[in-house]
């Protein structure tokens, strides 16, 4: 084994710009709801191509606020995927609505449109679809389906920055779209998220719901739509603004890391090229995810994670499907919260393994990661195939 420091799954990049903007906040008298937040929102709206951007404390809180802003709550159903890294779908439960899990396309990891169609009922109010690990969902067919049934379309882009579908960047397809800036995002502010929309009325409501203002303390009308304390601090906004300024360059460096991975992965038997669905022009992966072959089990993957850790490499199970988690399994049978109802979700949930991907990896580290992966895959899976 080569001598190496631990290779982290994700590693944020900090430079002079981040230090400068954070120091500017620390030396100011405004650590919340100040000019840095306004600047970050304006800059991110411009970068994402949307009219309005509303900064929030986290992706989950952002999804909760979005659902409330769309008037979705008790007695309503929202169709979503059980397969995800950030558990944004749990915001549906927080909003008082019922998550209805639909299966995914095995290769893209995104919602399967026909499986979504089968889940639509009289109580369905919205579809919450994600750009899984950076791969855009089938937004054309999803928009057609939503329009056909009068549903709101919410875009979960917490795992995607910079990917493109039909000539447009992710974040431009939902009635409201959501980004997250916690690890392992390519734009990492440690925490926080952003809602983007072109609907001025909805943007006004989202701003109201995210945070109670000092001016509201004496208002008796605030209680009619109780806001959350879910705003973004000036310090987080400063990090976000600095990270946004270098994002395009950072994404380009991550593409080089991805190319090193592809080159080294050719040493695996049965390797398939990276998957890009029809109409997808570019994918910026959040992490480098491989699907283990059919011989691998969930316990075998866990053994591989331990083996890789012992060799100084952090890896992770990409997904722990929500419908297999206790809260949803114990909530009843009404929406099929049992193993066996989402076969493709469960296949990926058992065998998807996330490898490190960040801009500070070099070619030798990637070579070491893939060699170590090949060794442990051979030992655990008896030479079974591995797929991107």
Q: Which helix (H) or strand (E) holds 80?
A: strand 77-81
Q: Domain residues of the chain, as ranges?
A: 16-245, 247-387
Per DSSP bridges, beta strands 193-197 and 168-169 are unpaired
What does the pLDDT read at residue 2? Answer: 45
Given CATH 3.40.50.300, say whether it is the number of domain 247-387.
no
What does the pLDDT read at residue 103? Answer: 97
What does the pLDDT read at residue 382? Answer: 59
What does the pLDDT read at residue 134? Answer: 96
What does the pLDDT read at residue 145? Answer: 98
What does the pLDDT read at residue 336? Answer: 47
Name 180's bridge partners.
Answer: 193
Q: Which residues contact 38 (CB under 8 A, 6 or more apart)?
A: none
What does the pLDDT read at residue 52? Answer: 98
For the chain, list the strands marked E by DSSP: 52-56, 77-81, 98-102, 124-130, 152-156, 164-165, 168-169, 176-180, 193-197, 280-282, 288-292, 316-317, 352-355, 386-387
Fold observed for domain 16-245: 3.40.640
Q: Please list the ranges in the chain whose pLDDT falls under 70.
A: 1-4, 212-224, 270, 330-338, 381-384
């Amino acid at each position: 084994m080569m001598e190496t420091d631990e290779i982290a799954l994700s590693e944020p990049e900090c430079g002079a710009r981040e230090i400068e903007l954070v120091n500017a906040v620390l030396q100011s008298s405004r650590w919340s709801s100040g000019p840095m937040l306004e600047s970050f929102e304006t800059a991110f709206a411009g970068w994402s191509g949307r009219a309005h951007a509303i900064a929030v404390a986290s992706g989950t809180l952002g999804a909760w606020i979005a659902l409330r802003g769309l008037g979705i709550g008790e007695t309503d159903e929202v169709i979503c995927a059980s397969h995800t890294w950030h558990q944004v779908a749990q915001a549906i439960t927080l909003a008082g609505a019922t998550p209805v899990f639909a299966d995914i396309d095995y290769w893209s990891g995104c919602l399967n449109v026909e499986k979504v169609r089968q889940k639509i009922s009289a109580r369905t109010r919205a579809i919450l679809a994600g750009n899984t690990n950076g791969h855009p969902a089938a937004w054309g067919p999803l928009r057609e389906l939503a329009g056909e049934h009068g549903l709101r379309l919410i875009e979960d882009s917490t795992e995607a920055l910079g990917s493109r579908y039909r000539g447009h960047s992710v974040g431009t397809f939902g009635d409201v779209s959501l980004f997250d800036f916690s690890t392992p995002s390519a734009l990492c502010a440690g925490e926080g998220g952003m809602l983007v929309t072109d609907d001025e009325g909805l943007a006004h409501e989202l701003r109201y719901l995210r945070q109670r203002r000092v001016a509201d303390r004496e208002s008796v009308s605030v209680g009619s739509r109780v806001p959350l304390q879910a705003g973004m601090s000036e310090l987080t906004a400063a990090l976000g603004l600095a990270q946004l300024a270098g994002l395009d360059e950072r994404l380009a460096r991550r593409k080089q890391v991805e190319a090193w991975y592809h080159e080294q992965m050719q040493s695996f038997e049965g390797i398939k090229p990276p998957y890009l669905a029809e109409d997808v022009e570019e994918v910026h992966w959040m992490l480098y995810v491989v699907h283990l072959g059919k011989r691998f089990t969930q316990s075998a993957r866990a053994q591989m994670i331990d083996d890789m850790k012992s060799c100084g490499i952090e890896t992770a199970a990409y997904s722990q499907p929500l419908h297999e988690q206790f809260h949803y399994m114990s909530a009843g049978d009404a929406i099929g919260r049992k193993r066996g109802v989402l076969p493709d979700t469960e296949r990926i949930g058992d065998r998807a393994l996330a490898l490190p991907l960040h801009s500070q990896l070099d070619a030798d580290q990637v070579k070491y990661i893939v060699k170590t992966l090949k060794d442990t895959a051979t030992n655990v899976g008896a030479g079974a195939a591995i797929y991107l």
